[in-house]
Amino acid sequence: MTIHRAEGPIGVRVRGTLARWNLESQRMRSPILRYGLSVVSVAIGLGLAFALQYYRFHDVELPVLTMSIAVTTWYAGIGPSVLAIVLAVACFNYFFTEPFYSFAVSASDLPYFFVFITWALIVAWFSAAGHRIENGLRQARDRLQVELEQRKHREDEIRQLNRELARQAADLEASNKELESFAYSVSHDLRAPLRHVVGYAELLQRQASSSLDDKSRRFMQTILESAKRMGNLIDDLLGFSRIGRAETKKAAVNLEQLVREVVAELRQETNGRDIDWKIGALPMCYGDRSMLKIVLVNLVSNAVKFTRLQSRAEIQIGCNGGKESQVEVFVRDNGAGFDMQYVNKLFGVFQRLHCPEEFEGTGIGLATAQRIIHRHGGQMRAEGAVDRGATFYFSLPKAQDAAERIANTL
């Protein structure tokens, strides 16, 4: 048996005990020692019997020799015990039965010898049985101790992993906090100087407008527009980071109702434009309503924006079957579209596929939408072709599936 990485005082003690037992059983396995023990123990028994006889104790030689047999059987096993029985019988015959100092046996003594041999055999048998039981117990104890050791080792490992996990959780929490305070100070401290740039430029424009030439006025205007644009970028970036940090409050959401609400809001900004809205039947889904509204506002307002150059814009919102547990919603337009080779850039933060002169925007809408969909366990993808429109798909868990999942976990 091998014990790996036994540590601490318990481990050392266990190892010591096991080593002693190993040594003991090895000593008993050597035949010379085992048979030697047999001879020595009978000799000692004989000596003891003589000593007792000298002090006038009679008829004690038989039990003493039987003891020698028992000791031999206990420590040396079956073979040596047979030798001990033979030697004890021979000695008894030679020294203690008449005629003394001769191996001759009278017929009247035969039953006596028979009883002695039977008695010796019984003692030997009991000793051997006892020995076997003790060996069994020893082995059981060994196994138990090894098992204990292994269990302790496994517990150590589990504790180690738990510590590691707790440390990682703490790290994660710390970096989350850091991120939050970063966003907080960006939100507070970055917007203030920007407001001052805009404010003072505006005041300067007011103050000195009459004395400025056209070029200077254009410079002034550019300063103002850039500062405002930076303000929008900061606001968008903060909104994006807020999406990642905010808790989602999920419930069953009527997607069709939400889509109609979003379209109604956006319609107010598109008056005068000829847009053909096609809103298909949409199922219930499971998610955070206000976050899903941000997704829909982004996708639908994109569709409105990128169909601006079409004489007749078509915007279709509907639902594919999707996977069993999910719904897939799409928003399709016949607008400017995009080149499929840049599809991966669509969802990046501040990534744009059009110049600001063509279509305004900061390039964070789709990144925000995708982040929200990912937080809902869904996927987002896009298809399109230049000047042939674009279709954006997102998947969400179905309401009844989510409800069942929750019921199952309760």
List contacts with another protein (CB under 8 A): 184, 187-189, 191-192, 194-196, 198-203, 227-228, 231, 235, 238, 242, 246
Give, for 235, the enclosing helix (H) or strand (E): helix 214-245
**Min. distance of Cβ 161 from another protein in angstroms?**
35
Question: Phi/psi at 284 (nearest 5 deg)?
Answer: -75, 145
Give the Cα separation of 234 and 79 in Å (integer).
95
**Min. distance of Cβ 188 from another protein in angstroms?**
5
Query: In terms of CB distance, is 130 or 239 closer to another protein?
Result: 239
Which residues does residue 333 pair with via DSSP β-bridges, in sequence order? 315, 390
Q: Where does residue 97 fall: left (phi above 0), alpha (psi -120 to 50 degrees), or beta otherwise?
A: beta
Residue 147, judged by CB atoms within 10 A of its CB (0-12, 13-18, 19+), counts as exposed
Query: In terms of CB distance, is 163 or 242 closer to another protein?
Result: 242
Query: Residue 234 to residues 189, 244, 323, 382: CA-CA distances in angstroms?
Result: 11, 16, 37, 26
Query: In terms of CB distance, is 16 or 199 closer to another protein?
Result: 199
Query: In terms of CB distance, is 260 or 289 closer to another protein?
Result: 289
Query: In terms of CB distance, is 141 or 228 closer to another protein?
Result: 228
**Min. distance of Cβ 185 from another protein in angstroms?**
9
Query: In terms of CB distance, is 227 or 380 closer to another protein?
Result: 227
Alpha helices in 30-77 (DSSP H): 31-54, 61-76
Question: Phi/psi at 322 (nearest 5 deg)?
Answer: 70, -165
Query: In terms of CB distance, is 106 or 181 closer to another protein?
Result: 181
Query: In terms of CB distance, is 365 or 397 closer to another protein?
Result: 365
Residue with tokens 């929200």: 372
**Min. distance of Cβ 149 from another protein in angstroms?**
53
Query: In terms of CB distance, is 227 or 313 closer to another protein?
Result: 227
Give the Cα separation of 131 and 133 in Å (integer).
5
**Min. distance of Cβ 227 from another protein in angstroms?**
7
In one-letter notation, the amino acid at residue 17 is T
Query: In terms of CB distance, is 191 or 260 closer to another protein?
Result: 191
**Min. distance of Cβ 308 from another protein in angstroms?**
24
**Min. distance of Cβ 234 from another protein in angstroms?**
9
- For the chain, how long is the longest CA-to-CA vector? 154
**Min. distance of Cβ 295 from another protein in angstroms?**
19
Query: In terms of CB distance, is 242 or 278 closer to another protein?
Result: 242
**Min. distance of Cβ 291 from another protein in angstroms?**
14
Query: How would DSSP label each residue in 162-230?
Result: HHHHHHHHHHHHHHHHHHHHHHHHIIIIIHHHHHHHHHHHHHHHHHHGGG--HHHHHHHHHHHHHHHHH
Residue with tokens 């080149």: 339
- Assess contact for 88 and 120: CB atoms under 8 A: yes
Give, for 250, the enclosing helix (H) or strand (E): none
**Min. distance of Cβ 182 from another protein in angstroms?**
12
Q: Kindly tell me the sign of the dihedral angle through the C-alpha atoms of 309, 312, 313, 314.
A: negative
Q: Where does residue 393 fall: left (phi above 0), alpha (psi -120 to 50 degrees), or beta otherwise?
A: beta
**Min. distance of Cβ 202 from another protein in angstroms?**
4
Give, for 116, the enclosing helix (H) or strand (E): helix 110-185
Which residues does residue 328 pair with via DSSP β-bridges, in sequence order? 320, 395
